Each structure stands twice: as structure tokens, then as C-alpha cells.
């Protein structure tokens, strides 16, 4: 009798957060230019305070770069909440379950995909 086939052990996709280290506030056009040069399609998104999107996943990787306000990203599978402030960037791999809620004052951010 042969042994059962083993399912391959795939690495878990990792969410990557980069905190703002620039001087002053982020400049939207500079960030848009940088993302575009990295091969992303970019759109600006504005969210009113305390509004957002429940848990969902995408068939593509998504990058979010906060321009104004704050955003909390929930990663239910990991039990993590990540608060992003102006200039902070999060890269969410395809298929990763996440939710997004703008801070009390709302938020403006760039969403980038490739």
C-alpha cells in the first residue's frame, strides 16, 4: 500500500507595514509618483470618520498609503489591529483577510495595485 501524498507546506503570506520616516507630512503627488514608478495603478480614496469595510480579501495584492487622518487595519486571521498614520504604508498580499476603518476624523489614502 502506498503512502498518502503530502500536501506541500506553503509559506503564509506576510503583511508588511512601513512607518513614515520622512520630514513633515507626506506629499500626495510624491507618493503617487513613487507608487507609479514601482508599477502600481493608484487611486485616491477618502473615508469619513469611523467608516470602513468589513473583512474581505482580494485576488491581487494591495498597498495602502495614508495621506491624511488615520486608518485601522484589522487582520482577523492573526488577531491584529494596525493603526496607520499619515505617511504609513501597508502591503497586503493577495488572499489575506482584512478590514479597514477610518479614524474619528476620517482619512485620505492612496490604494495601489498591480
- Read off the pTM: 0.90
Handedness of CA 56, 57, 58, 59 (dihedral sign): negative
CATH 2.40.160.210 fits 16-113, yes or no: no
Q: What is the pLDDT along the chain (114 residues), one digit of tens a residue?
A: 678 888 788 888 999 999 999 999 999 999 999 999 999 999 999 999 999 999 999 999 999 999 999 999 999 999 999 999 999 999 999 999 999 999 999 999 999 999
Which residues, listed in sequence order, are joined to residue 54 by a DSSP beta bridge? Answer: none
> Which cell numbers hold the place of 16?
508588511
Tell me the domain boundaries of the chain.
16-113
Residue reference for cell 503617487 = 32
* Cα(14)–Cα(30) distance, integer angstroms: 26
Amino acid at each position: 500500500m502506498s503512502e498518502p501524498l503530502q500536501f506541500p507546506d506553503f509559506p503564509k503570506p506576510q503583511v508588511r507595514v512601513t512607518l513614515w520616516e520622512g520630514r513633515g507630512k507626506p506629499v500626495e503627488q510624491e507618493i503617487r509618483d513613487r507608487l507609479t514608478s514601482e508599477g502600481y495603478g493608484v487611486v485616491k480614496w477618502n473615508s469619513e470618520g469611523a467608516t470602513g469595510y468589513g473583512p474581505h480579501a482580494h485576488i491581487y495584492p494591495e498597498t495602502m498609503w495614508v495621506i491624511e487622518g488615520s486608518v485601522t487595519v484589522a487582520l482577523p486571521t492573526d488577531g491584529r489591529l494596525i493603526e496607520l498614520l499619515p505617511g504609513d504604508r501597508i502591503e497586503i498580499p493577495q488572499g489575506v483577510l482584512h478590514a479597514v476603518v477610518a479614524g474619528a476624523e476620517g482619512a485620505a489614502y492612496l490604494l495601489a495595485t498591480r
